[in-house]
Structure formats: structure tokens, C-alpha cells
A and B are shown apart, each in its own frame.
Chain A
């Protein structure tokens, strides 16, 4: 043909959304000619309301090729080789949808007859989903199926714990309802960024807002071992030694509190009145409380009296030591009564705590010159503008345009508590927490209700926010894991929301399946494992070992796009309709992930845009069919009516009822038509009610979302609450109780993790933990002299894009996509030239690829972008790219108290002889 496309105005463009990564959704339009999806462009209709100008990023453009990929699984498949393993040919043979669903449903009915939980009380059905909640943006009504089913073990991880902002999720929600923490980029002027690669991971909104901030004058100091995309875009790069960020941050705090006059440079009012800094701490380390009310006491310097925190305190003491009567409430109901105890304000303890963290001490630890640490701290203070205010939507708020960002490798695993605490404290010291310009949370996933972080702000009684800790008291502790990763049992901070199973140490099931630790209940493998949009055999830490565990599962159902390393072990492959082939309505807007701060909220549609390419089915159809065949249709429809598809279909108070007849299976269109009507009714208070056809035509529907809701500070002020900084009394109590509980049942293998429950986190030489790990597996630590790290590939990440040559083509324009990045001088010493094939070995694994020599990386560090090392995924398996996931170890000693690890390993590098 001659390529004469129709005139722009005459082209058919179908609106859909892209939610291939957590930084979504972004809205786009797909151009369609004669039933074939031809091109993608941003949906400019939303340009003035989307925080990223309505654009979609590079990944969205891979969706066309993703749809027409000839390597797709074209119809349901059944395994014929009962043996499973990497080296076993599964012998998949095509079967009809009817047969495939009958096999799965029969298996499920069998499970239900046995009981949905096994003898140990563990769910017989397990399911894993891809990262960051993105699968739910594609899985239609499948959540309704799970809900109707009953208990499901959602705790087998696909890489979370190292691949997510794990510690930040937990501590962030505790301290300021921040499952994700973000600078208030549109107002911020100075960012200290420890390894957060926001320019590659923050999505469209992140890149858009950061670029605006940069040309507006925001200065960002990037602290990281290699010069990432974000480092490239920063005013300054400080190449820090891996895993020593806590030392750097502690030294900043030392500079501010000890070397500078903190009364002059910090936000004294905020520290005094909006944090727990003045709370008096008793000799046992718990708040000293008024015996009658149990309220923590504060010394009022104005009259020298000790008053409950919510009393009329004119001048709360932050420093000093006082003799005070009161009680301390310890673990397990212990109460210490003092007639005359020595008590210090928490802030005094903080001052004592950070006295030793001098910049010189930090320099030796983290390799950042002391003078630069001092300068960064001073610049931070200068930019904090303590005392200034700004008007947002008619309300005057503090204006503190400074923030600290943390990357995944920084806030995860050992040291995560320290860095998260230090970051939050740095904000609190200058009053930059949850105020314009400062450090904000974007969404809640552990606190409830999940749709509004402000409604989660409730008093706990001590003048701070409540938090849904998993109980650690003797009466309420969950001694026996209810799912295999035992988050309720081991991690009080993981809470118990729908997200908790995925957060709780999600690598433990793989580890325990290999070898059960002492004094731990037996764990049978799930009778059925469903995996959806996830490939743990590649994406997990120690992926090769996880692949072996997957091969041991008796029956695996994989929703399959192409063949891959995980579905290589599957018994049934179900080719689900992909992004441009199925129908769904999702919520958009408000605030979420790193930089999605909207001034609108509403709903957007995804829909089939073109003629079918293979015999795949809409997941909503699959879910409905399975529910019908398994015999749980009523529960399934009821779950949809309750809101499992995103919107409650009936709300008496709001005056609408679009609920589905629970006895009947409903066509996909009918389900989403009801959701569309409920959603639009809810959005407009009934003024505009639209069915799914309207959404398919118009793409989205919005209403304003107040910018004031970006900031939690006003809500805390309204309720008279303080941020729980700096002292972590609750954590200390939970830690002590948890230690008791675990020791009572004979568990001693979590002791190191229990050490983390310190009220003020101390510094440990964190790098040694990884260095010494070699000894644990019988290797010499000195023979692994380098650090191996990873970094985000914006082009590939999350979207199952490794099999898409178009993505590969453009990604290769960015250094590191063709191999392992090595410092040029290091390579010279090792006799490695650019493009040489190299082997990278850790104490537990090996990976191979080509050397890419660069200057923007520490000489003691190598870097592998993305996640590769595929051996089954078509196209990807021929890329010859190394992967950190083949080097990292699943190990209790590398697991911190929150249940996360860090995505790094000690390695050695050599020219590949093999």
C-alpha cells in the first residue's frame, strides 16, 4: 500500500487507559483502521486536567505490538507432561475454552468439597498478581470471584519486598498516611534524593511535574551509587556507598540539631505542637503518663508543671531532664508507677541519639565528604523557609518547600527503618511534613477507608493517629499463620488490609516451602495456584530458586499472554484478553502513587478497540464462567453488587440501585454498564447517569478534587493530633510483645528482626550484612568485592514488555539496556573492554551479559537495569541480558523486621570464559 492514512479529523480513535505501571493511569486513544489497531497517541481531551498533561509514556506505544505479537498464546492450553521444571517441555496442547474452564472448575469444586482451608487452616487456593496493584486495573470482576470463593492465599510474592517501596509503605502509613511518599513537586524548591529514580519510575506525571519544577528552579541533590536518569537531571550527584544512606541522613540531622542552632533554624512551633517531641519518656523507655488519664505528659516550662499532652501548655519543654511522677505503660499490660522518675522529652532523647552521628563519622561510612554533608544540610535549612505561609484554595498553610526522597534499595531491607525515619524526621524538624512544598503521602492501602486518606485520620488516644497494627498481645496475637507468609504473625506494621498479604514478607512462602524454620507449623503447598500478570520465576529476588518452587506446585493455572518462565510450570494456560481487548471501568484522579496529584477525580474506560487477534477472552467473562461452573455465582454477583468491580451498584442513601440479579450470569457489557451507571451517579450525585456506551464514546468522566486534600496537616490540626515523631513508643511496645509471643512458641529465628523495634533507630554498618552473607553460604566475603544494583527501565518496567521488539529498539538508546554497567576504570583493571561478555557472580547465583562501560557509576558497583535473564519468553530469551534477580538471595538474614530485603548483592565480575 502507499500508506495514505485518512485525514486526522476522519480517523477513528478509541479512548482507553494505560495502567501498565503503578505510575498510571494515563489516558490514550487507539487509532483503528478496518478493525486493526494501528497507532496510539495521548488522549489530549484530558490534557488540562491530568497531572501529566494528558500524555502517555513510551510503554503505552508498545501495546499495539503487544496485541499483534505472533508469540501470543492463541487459545487455552493443557499441559501433557506431568513433570515440571525448567528443563521439562510442558507439552502444552491446545484445548477449547469449554474444556479448559471445565478442568479448572472441576479442580476448584474438588477443593471446595475438601474445604477451602487445609488442616493447618491455610487456604488451599493461592493466587499471585503482578506488581503494585496494577493487575486490578485489568482483571475486571476477578476480585469478585476471589471474594465469593472465600480465603485465598495472596501471599506468594512476585518480587515485592525488594521491588517495592516496602519500608516506606509501612512506616509511611504509620506516620503520615503515606503508602507512597512524594515531595510536593509543584511547590518544592530543594530535594535531597537518596536513590529515588523518579524520572524513570514516576510515570508521566512524575516526569512532567519534575521537569516543570526543574526549570522553575528546584535544586535536587541526587545521592546514589550510579548516575541514574534522575541523577542525570539533578544539579548535583553524590556517589554514595550502597546501603549507607542512613549514615548520610543521620549526619544531616546531626548537622541541623547539634552543629546548627536548632532553635533558630528548625520549625520550633511545629516540633513543639505538631509532633510528639515534648512527650516525656520514662526510665523504661515508655511515655510517662498521667496516672488518672493515662495521657502522656509534657513539661510546661512556663509554670514548671507537667501536663497531659492535650492540656494548656504554654511552653512545652523539648530539652532537659525532669523529676516527674507518673506511670509507664509497657508491653503486655505492664505498668510501672513512678513517684519521682527521671523523665526526658523525646526531643532530648533525639538530641542525645544523634550526637555521635557527625559528618566526619558519616563520611567514613558512606563516602560522601563531610563538608558536602554540611552544605546539603545547610541548603536544606535555607530552602525550608520556616515561618512562611502559602494560600491554597483560600486557606493559609505553612509553606516548606523542601523534601527528602528515598529509592527502593534505600528504604527496603535493613536500614529501611532508619532511612524512612530520618526522612520523615527531616521533614518534621522544619515543619515540612504534609504541608505545601514539603513531604506528602499520596494514598493509603493499609489504613481504611482506602479511598480517602483524610478519613483514615483518627485519634489513637495519645494525641497521635491510630494505626491498625496486627495485634501482639497474648490474647489477640495470630500465633498460627492464616496464610503462608504469616504477615499477621510476624509484622505488626503490615496491618490487615486487602494489601497486607502482598506486603507481608511475601518471599517467606518460597523460603519456607524449601525449608521450614524451627517451631513453625507445617505448610502444605496450595492445591491450586493462580498467577495473573506476574512472572515470579523472573521477577522475584532469587528468581531461579523461586522457579524451582513453582515447579513443585501440584496444579497451576496461568493467565497467559505469551509463554513465559512461570507459566512454563503451569497445568492450564488461559489466554486472557489483553489491554486493548477487554472492557473495564476504573477510578482515576485524586492522589496516588508518586506524583499523581490531581485536581480531579473520576472514572475512565478501557475497551476492546479492534477485531480479535487470538481466541482470548475478557477476564470478566472468564470470572463469570468460572463462578457459574464452580457454583459460587450468587456470591460472585453479590460481590460485584457490593463494589468488587470498583463501584457499589446500589446505594440507598445516594438513591440509586443498578445491582445485578445475583442468580444469573451476566454478559460482560451488562456488568460494566451497571458499574458505569453507579459510578457516574456517585460522581455527580445523580445529576448525570451514563451507561458504558457513553464511557466508550467519551473515555472518562471527572469531577473536581480539592488540592487541599493533598495535604494531611490541616486534618491533623482539626483533630488536635500530632505526628508521631521522633520517638516510636508504640513500635517499641509491639516489638517487645512480639518477642515475647515468638519466644513463647519457640521461634528464635526472627530475633534479629525484633532488634529493629527501637524507639529511636540506631545505625548499624548495613553493608556488612550483605558482605557477611557470603560466609553464611560457605563463601569468602572478600571474593565478592563489588556491589550489584539495579535501576528502573522506564521502557520495560511492569508491562510485560520484554517480548516487544519495538520497546527493545527504543530502550537500547539508553545506556545499560544492552548489558551490565561497569565503571570504566574498574573494567580496565579487570581487563574488560566495552561489549565484552562478562559473568557476574554472587554467593548464590550467576548471570551473564555484555559489559557497558560508563563513568557515572562508583568503581565498586555494577548495575543491571530492569529484569531479564529470560529462558522461556519469546524474543526476550534471545536478548542475552543479565539480571540482578539471578544474583539476589532469599534469606532470613537479609530480611528486615518489616519483612523486606534490598535489591542488591555482593558480586564479583570477570570476563566470561563460558
Chain B
């Protein structure tokens, strides 16, 4: 039977000394600011009822790792023994795994970085050029695990062949071993003590188990979860609060904006052409504009990735990665579009519309698979991306029709009305359920800040302008519909930029059970009845 490696962290032992963190930095030669093993200082309560604990974090080597399927290259994989591995030579540094991880385990360092500005002899000696610009994370010191296997030794027991953090721990708080072996150190600790898995509700089945209970000899009060009230989670200094992700910035948002509206526009235009609602000339114009915008969006993504020369590796994971699939959609879309421009045909209209919609759908799934970002993984997110993309596409179509004066925009107007309504409803639902979906107060504040603008100008105004355009005649009609279209596009851009770059706080850390210790009313109860 294959082993299943994992760790047990005893919260009653860890004193936050940082020995594991620094031992990891030594063993793995990580550059400044990169800590694969990190220990946080967590406080709960209000003076004088306060508890404090030290929370060991890092890659959880999940049994169901969200980072693995999203990877478009196959650089991140899961081995039979449970280790989630990184192939630095394959990774393109797109950051997808990093936003998919709910444990803030991954980093991308875009340059080597030296502690004193210039490399010391030792730093130069242990520098890892292959890790620059690609995703990094805890490997469970995989080379130790593998060398142990080759020598018949047991990682977690034979200290030189144990992950550096666990081997170095001065409190015996960190234990590494094989959960598949019921007699292993970690299995025994996990079965003999109460424990929790962090974010178990996300279905990741993380392979770090946290012990929190005190032994019977010290009767503790019932364990309670760490404070996750809005007040507590609004404090950006609170280590449990996830910071805003920095992996996908405005360049990624540009792809979602330009790609969304162009994919939407292709879908809407192809469909309109199929039903004879759009002239050939207008169709070509719209196709060309959309194709350029989509290419521009993709170029922004190219600018975002850490290893640009490897960009074609993005094609390697169609079996699971929506990023790969998005690329394949592009690969279908552009030839179909070219053919449709050269030899217009209803079948090609349909093909373009389908490929545009598929591209849009891929985008919707890409963001939704970013499980590390609560604002992205909300169930309404894929629908919101898809519908908004169609709305933006219809808006773009309406605008282009007006600009080019190539025909009546009534169809686009009706589409805008309908899609505004649907997107608007979905947007409201997204906002209303945000807190319940685990989107923290900091992210919600960002969303709330733009929500009125999105609702008024991105949803209500386009619908009303289009209705007005449909109701009136003359040149003003096309103007109203065209303006409605522009606003729909702008509204889409606004919320996407907000959600992707501003409200994109990473999943924070959770302590579902604080160890039973503290002060004031949170202190462990007396061991004695009153004398």
C-alpha cells in the first residue's frame, strides 16, 4: 500500500519560536520573504478575556488539492504518497495554483532577491534560478522522503530524513509521517487526540491535522472557534485575515474584461447573424474588433506569467484545467472566425457563437476554480461571468452598430434589456449572499463600494436606455442603445476589476478549535471544587 504522508501539529506544544520556519528556509534555500513553513501569532478575545496561540501554516498536501487540477501545465501534481509536487521546469508562473489554494501556501518570486541587496557567497551557492518566476511551496522536503525510501528509512522517525520543520521543532509540536499506516507516529497522535483539519468544509481533505485538546489532567473549558466576527476579520493585522492576492493583477482583470466582452460579442453576433439579425458587413466589423480585443486580453495574460517563453506549456492540461481549455477555445475560435469572415456561412456563424460562448464559459470556470479566493469561488460567480460577458458582448455589439451605422440595433437592445435584468439579479444575489459564502468584510467592503455604480450604470441604465431607444424613433434611438451598450461594457469592467484585483482577499486561516487555555472567563476552570 502506498503511504499517505501528512503532518500532525500540536497547538498545545507550539510556542511560535520560528525554528521550523527558519529550518525550512535553510533546508530549502528559500529567498527573502518566502516562507514555506510559516507560524502565525493569533490572538482571540478582548482584554482581559484573551487567548493567544501559534498557528503553523503551509502547504497542507491536500488529498483533494485544488491547486492540481487548475494547473494548465501539469507542473503541479499529486503523487501516490500524497505529496503535492512542483516541477519548476514546467511551470509557467501563471499563479493559478496560488489563487486556487485556500491555505496561502504558494508564492511566486519574480526575481531571486538577496538578504543584503547583493548575494553573499552562501546565497550564491544555494540560489535556485529554476524557482524564479514559477510557483513555489512546501514540498514536505520531498528529496528527504525519497532518499529515506531508497535507504529503507522512515521519514518522521529518522530525523535526517524527516522534513526540516518537523525534525527541527524544539517543542515536538510538528510530526511528520504516514497516515496510511495506522501504527505510525502521526496516525497514533491523530487517533489518540481530538483534532481538526483546517477548512475541511472546502472538501480539500488537508493532510495536516491540528491537535487542540489538553489532556484530562488539566480540565479545560469547551474549545471554541477563533473569533471570526466582522470586527475581528476587518483587522488587516489579524493573521487570520487573508491578505489581498497579488498573483493576478490588472493584467488578469484585463483578460477577464476584454475576453468576456469579446467572447460575449462573438457569441451574440454569431447568434444574431445565424438568425439573420445582423448584416454580413457588421458581422465582420464586430468579429474583427472582438478578435483584436480578445487577443489584447490574452496578451495581458502573457505579460502576467512568470516564464513567458514557456507560454505554450499552457496547452498541457486539457483534462482538468479551465485555463488550458480556454486556450483551446481560442484555438477553435480564431480559425472559425477567419473562415466565417472569408466564407460566411450559418454553420460558421454557429461555430463562432459556440466558440465565443465556450471561451466565456471557460473564463467563468477559471475564476470559479480560484478556491483560494472566497469572492471568486461563490456559486453565483460562473453564472455572473457568463451572463455579464453576454451582456457586455451585446453592449459592444450595440455600440459598434451605432458607431458603424450598419443597421438596426433593436435585437441588441432587447438582448441588453434581458441580460441586464438577469445579470443585475445575479449581481444582487452575489452581494447578498457574500457574507454567507465566506467572503470577508474587507472584500465585501470593496464590492459594496462599487455596487451602486455597477447597479445603476452597469445594469439599470443600459436596460433603461435600451428601452428608451426602442420606444423612441430617429437618430436618438441608436444613440440611446449605443450608450446603453457602452455602459453595460463599463459596468462589467468595473465589477470584474473590483472582484479580481480589489475584493480578491485570500482565504484566511481558521482555528475552529482554540486550545483550552486563556485568561479571564476564557481561562481553564479550576481543578478543584471551592474549599
Give A residues with C-beta under 8 Å from B: 1-3, 5, 7-9, 33-34, 36-42, 44, 47, 52-53, 55-58, 61-62, 64-65, 67-71, 189, 199-200, 204, 207-208, 211-212, 214-219, 227, 229, 231-239, 260, 374-375, 378-379, 382-383, 613, 794-795, 805-807, 809-811, 813-815, 823-825, 834-835, 852-859, 875
Contacts and interface: CB of A to CB of B under 8 A. Distances in A.
Given A42-B167, A71-B116, A379-B527, A214 B47 contact: no
B205 interface: no
A382 B527 contact: yes
Interface in B474-531: 516-520, 523-524, 526-528, 530-531
B21 A3 contact: no
A65 B26 CA distance: 11
18 contacts: A41-B23, A41-B164, A41-B168, A53-B170, A68-B122, A189-B217, A216-B215, A227-B43, A231-B52, A235-B523, A236-B523, A379-B526, A794-B18, A806-B22, A809-B32, A810-B25, A813-B38, A856-B519
B41 interface: yes
A235 B43 contact: no
Contacts of B80: none
Given A207-B171, A233-B517, A41 B26 contact: yes
A2 B215 contact: no
A653 B48 CA distance: 63
Interface of B: 10, 12-13, 15-19, 21-23, 25-27, 29, 32-33, 35, 38-41, 43, 45-48, 50-54, 115-116, 118, 120-123, 125-131, 143-144, 147, 151, 159-161, 164, 167-173, 214-218, 220, 235, 237, 516-520, 523-524, 526-528, 530-531
B156 to A, nearest CB: 13
A233 B127 CA distance: 37
A212 B524 contact: no
Nearest to A232: B52
A39, A823, A825: most-surrounded residue (chain B CB, <10 A): A39
A226 to B, nearest CB: 10
Nearest to B29: A3
Nearest to B147: A8
A1 B129 contact: yes
Contacts of A69: 116, 120
B18 A58 contact: yes
A378 B531 CA distance: 7
A813 B15 contact: no
A237 B12 contact: no
A44 B46 CA distance: 42
A68 B120 contact: yes
Contacts of B126: 3, 5, 38-39
Given A217-B218, A238-B519, A36 B25 contact: no
A854 B45 CA distance: 10
Contacts of A217: 214-218
Given A8-B144, A36-B122, A57-B19, 14 more contacts: A1-B129, A2-B128, A8-B160, A42-B168, A208-B170, A212-B172, A218-B218, A239-B47, A382-B527, A805-B32, A806-B115, A810-B18, A811-B18, A853-B237
A219 to B, nearest CB: 5
A565 to B, nearest CB: 20
B39, B121, B516: most-surrounded residue (chain A CB, <10 A): B121
Contacts of A211: 10, 12-13, 15, 171-173
B19 A3 contact: no
B47 to A, nearest CB: 5
Given A200-B15, A211-B173, A805-B32, A9 B122 contact: no
B120 A379 contact: no
A854 B43 contact: yes
B524 A236 contact: yes
B43 A815 contact: yes
B147 A7 contact: yes
B170 A57 contact: yes
Contact of A855 (B22, B47, B517, B523): B47
Contacts of A3: 29, 126-131
A233 B15 contact: yes
A64 B528 contact: no
B32, B51, B115: most-surrounded residue (chain A CB, <10 A): B115
A216 B10 CA distance: 13
Nearest to B211: A215
B216 A237 contact: no
B38 to A, nearest CB: 6
A68 B144 contact: no
Nearest to B221: A235
Contacts of A824: 47
B120 A65 contact: yes
A855 B168 CA distance: 31
B50 A855 contact: yes
Contacts of A47: 159
A852 B239 CA distance: 13
Contacts of A67: 122
Nearest to B215: A217
B528 A382 contact: yes
A281 to B, nearest CB: 31
A379 B54 CA distance: 27
Contact of A215 (B13, B22, B518): B13
Contacts of B43: 227, 815, 854-856
Contacts of A56: 19, 168, 170
Contacts of B13: 211, 214-215
A61 B25 contact: yes
B115 A805 contact: yes
B146 to A, nearest CB: 10
A237 B523 contact: yes
A810 B34 CA distance: 10
A7, A38, A231, A233: most-surrounded residue (chain B CB, <10 A): A233
B129, B159, B170: most-surrounded residue (chain A CB, <10 A): B170
A5 B519 CA distance: 48
B18 A814 contact: yes
A712 to B, nearest CB: 28
B27 A41 contact: yes
Contact of B167 (A41, A233, A236, A858): A41
B10, B19, B172, B237: most-surrounded residue (chain A CB, <10 A): B19
A1 to B, nearest CB: 6
A834 B235 contact: yes
Nearest to B235: A834
Contacts of B38: 813
B216 A856 contact: no
Nearest to A852: B237
A806 B25 contact: yes
A239 B519 contact: yes
Contacts of B170: 52-53, 55-57, 204, 207-208
B47, B144, B518: most-surrounded residue (chain A CB, <10 A): B47
Contacts of B527: 219, 379, 382-383
B531 A57 contact: no
Given A58-B17, A207-B17, A236-B517, A36 B26 contact: no
B260 to A, nearest CB: 37
A34 B125 contact: yes
A70 B118 contact: yes
Contacts of A214: 12-13, 214
Contact of A375 (B35, B516, B528): B528
A217, A811, A857: most-surrounded residue (chain B CB, <10 A): A217
A231 B51 CA distance: 9
Contact of B169 (A55, A189, A855): A55
Nearest to A204: B170
Nearest to B193: A215
Contacts of A40: 26
A838 to B, nearest CB: 15
A260 B50 contact: no
A612 to B, nearest CB: 11
A848 to B, nearest CB: 19
Contacts of A7: 147
Contacts of A57: 17, 19, 170
